[in-house]
Amino acid sequence: MTSTDLATRPAALEAALPRVDTARVESLVAELLDALGEDPTREGLAGTPKRVATWLSSFLSPGPADAVCFPEPRLVGQMVLVDGVSVWSLCEHHLLPMNLKVAAAYLPGEEVLGLSKFGRIAQHVAGRFQVQERFTGQVADHLVATVGSQDIAVHVEGQHLCMSMRGVRMEDARTTTLHARGRFETDPVLAQQFLTIATRYRAA
């Protein structure tokens, strides 16, 4: 398989991300501040609408999830797991941030995925309005498309400000999602090995 093939594997997964109208967002943020009883022109708030618009435009325009695989036929059957990947996304139900800690693994065939690409995939999928369940599945989809194998697993632990700051206001609450395919779904020993490593920091 050529390097071009590798670079375009996940392309079919992508729906077009929305274009952010920063000028309109800036105007709407000013209106929101006014509706909240604030003066958007006062010192301290004068630049806030522009800053918020700039940030949203940047956050909702994530970089590509480009991934590179390298030939390495001697590693067939070995589990490769990367954890400690931490990304921020925005809850689409309340427009509040959520922090998502990702551990992902796969079984190489005759290629290995560049390790930094796990983080790039997670950042790319997080840079939009999300729910954790869909995020987990989309990271899994990208890994399958990139490594060309169903033998993948993704574990995500999320802290949601929509639960910590509002509603029940439980700051220590965490949400866990798990997406397993291929041998990670059918082999209980492999599945347990993955979960043991993926959750080791929480257990400590």
Specify whether the CB–CB gap between 151 and 190 falls below 8 A: no
Asked: is 68-203 a CATH 3.30.1330.10 domain? The reply is: no
pLDDT digits (tens, 9 = 90+) for 32-83: 999 999 999 999 999 999 999 999 999 998 888 877 888 887 877 789 999 9
- C-alpha distance from residue 84 to each of 20, 28, 192 (Å): 30, 37, 18
Task: State the Cα–Cα distance between residues 199 and 178, nearest whole angstrom.
Answer: 11
Report the alpha-carbon distance of residue 70 to residue 17 in Å, rounded. 29
Contact indicator for 156, 100 with CB cutoff of 8 Å = yes
> Rounded to an integer, what distance in angstroms lies between the CA atom of residue 46 and that of residue 152?
48
pLDDT-based confidence at residue 96 (cuts at 50, 70, 90) = very high
User: Residue 129's beta-bridge partner residues?
Assistant: 90
> Is the model more confident about 106 or about 2?
106
Write out the residue limits of the CATH 3.30.1130.10 domain(s) in the chain. Answer: 68-203
Instruction: Answer whether 75's CB lies under 8 Å from 107's CB.
Output: no
Helix (H) or strand (E) segment spanning residue 97: strand 97-106
